């Protein structure tokens, strides 16, 4: 067993996220009663992680901090009084536990076991993006099989999961992307309609869907993109915003708000977790883990990096021209 562990630490925040974080060596911690040592198998870098490094996210941990909010690990050592999960069990890493690490110490009683045979890289992405997509499809509009939903940034992590979950549930998707080069990949994921954002979006969407009444829109951009998405929706529809990739607040015209009765709502997964019961969370994670283990739910991975390469990993994650997620995958595993 190693005597040291590697963790990606930052002591300040700044406009260039990769400049504030670096790998540091720490002594391997001693386990106390009820604790286990987990070898990290994979941990993704999400947009919210990058915003945490720049200081622009809604909740910021005290400094110094270890990067990474989700991932999966394998139990490699059990502390006193621990009988479950056993050594060798794959588990979901606790949220906000500093997952960009070679190892993490966790309370055994709070861990959620996962299928050992499932791809750990795919499992590592299940805490944030799949629940976000799943809940936005179910919490705001009572969609029925055959109904349409429209989203922008469809080639994002959340977007790819939303396409797959919608298809599993029998919904059809209109997928708006910001560049022509992303169209083919979104179609491969199963997007029914894929359109590049821009002028006359409502007209182009109506033509592609034969004038379908779309009652749910999903926005991750903000600014004028929100208004363009709202213009595609049916009377009385709901538009859900979960991100601000443009850096601008949501903008909706009086036509959509007043004359088309569109409702704008926000979604933040952390808030849902605070109010959801343990049983509700287990049901959601159980469904997602099963879909991932059976290959019905997956996300493209652009590249993997060791913890020692965290600066290059963050730089890659902060680059727009990607076709998949950036993962931290410790090489010693």
Contact 42, 79 (CB under 8 A): no
- Whether residue 78 sits in one domain with residue 138: no
- Whether residue 220 sits in one domain with residue 159: yes
Query: Residue 244 has what pLDDT?
Result: 84
pTM of the model: 0.85
For the chain (333 residues), the mean pLDDT of every run of 10, in chain order, is 88 95 94 96 93 88 94 95 94 92 95 92 93 96 97 92 96 95 91 95 96 97 96 97 89 90 94 88 90 91 96 91 87 72
Domain, as residue range, for 118: 4-125+299-328
CATH number for position 303:
3.90.180.10
Query: Residue 120 has what pLDDT?
Result: 96
- Whether residue 140 sits in one domain with residue 121: no
- Whether residue 230 sits in one domain with residue 146: yes
Query: Residue 333 has what pLDDT?
Result: 53
Active site residues: 57
Q: For the chain, percent helix, then strand, then coil, each to nearest 5?
A: 30, 25, 45
- Whether residue 133 sits in one domain with residue 121: no
Secondary element (H or E) of residue 165: helix 157-169
Instruction: Note whether residue 294 is domain-resident.
Output: no
- Whether residue 254 sits in one domain with residue 167: yes
Query: Residue 1 has what pLDDT?
Result: 61
Instruction: Note whether residue 277 is domain-resident.
Output: no
Instruction: Note whether residue 276 is domain-resident.
Output: no
What is d(CA 75, CA 280) in angstroms, rounded to the nearest whole number? Answer: 25
Residue at which a domain ends, from 270, 286, 318: 270
- Whether residue 159 sits in one domain with residue 40: no
Query: Residue 245 has what pLDDT?
Result: 84
Instruction: Note whether residue 20 is domain-resident.
Output: yes
Domain count along the chain: 2
83: Cα separation from own chain's centroid: 32
CATH number for position 219:
3.40.50.720
Contact 183, 194 (CB under 8 A): yes
Query: Residue 68 has what pLDDT?
Result: 95
| Tokens encoding 260 | 């088309």
At residue 93, φ and ψ (nearest 5 deg) are: -70, 145
């Amino acid at each position: 067993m190693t005597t040291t562990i590697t963790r990606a630490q930052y002591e300040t925040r700044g406009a260039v996220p990769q400049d504030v974080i670096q790998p540091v060596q720490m002594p391997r911690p001693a386990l106390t009663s009820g604790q286990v040592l987990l070898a990290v198998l994979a941990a993704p870098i999400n947009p919210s992680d990058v915003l945490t490094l720049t200081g622009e996210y809604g909740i910021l941990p005290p400094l110094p901090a270890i990067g990474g909010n989700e991932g999966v690990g394998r139990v490699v050592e059990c502390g006193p009084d621990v009988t479950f999960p056993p050594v060798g069990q794959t588990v979901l890493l606790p949220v906000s536990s500093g997952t960009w690490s070679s190892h993490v110490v966790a309370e055994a009683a709070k861990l959620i076991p996962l299928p050992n045979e499932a791809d750990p890289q795919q499992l590592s992405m299940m805490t944030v993006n799949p629940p976000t997509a799943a809940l936005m499809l179910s919490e705001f509009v009572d969609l029925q099989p055959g109904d349409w939903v429209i989203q922008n940034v469809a080639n994002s992590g959340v977007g790819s999961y939303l396409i797959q979950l919608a298809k599993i549930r029998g919904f059809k998707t209109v997928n708006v992307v910001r560049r022509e080069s992303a169209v083919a990949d979104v179609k491969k994921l199963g997007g029914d309609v894929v359109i590049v954002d821009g002028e006359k979006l409502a007209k182009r969407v109506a033509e592609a869907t034969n004038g379908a009444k779309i009652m749910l829109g999903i926005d991750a951009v903000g600014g004028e993109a929100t208004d363009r998405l709202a213009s595609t929706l049916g009377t009385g529809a709901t538009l859900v915003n979960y991100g601000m990739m443009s850096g601008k607040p949501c903008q909706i015209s009086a036509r959509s708000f007043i004359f088309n009765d569109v409702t704008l709502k926000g979604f933040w997964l952390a808030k849902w977790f605070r109010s959801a019961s343990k049983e509700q969370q287990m049901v959601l994670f159980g469904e997602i883990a099963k879909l991932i283990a059976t290959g019905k739910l997956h996300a493209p991975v652009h590249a993997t990096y060791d913890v020692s390469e965290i600066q290059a990993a963050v730089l890659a994650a902060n680059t727009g021209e990607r076709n998949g997620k950036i993962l931290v995958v410790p090489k010693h595993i």
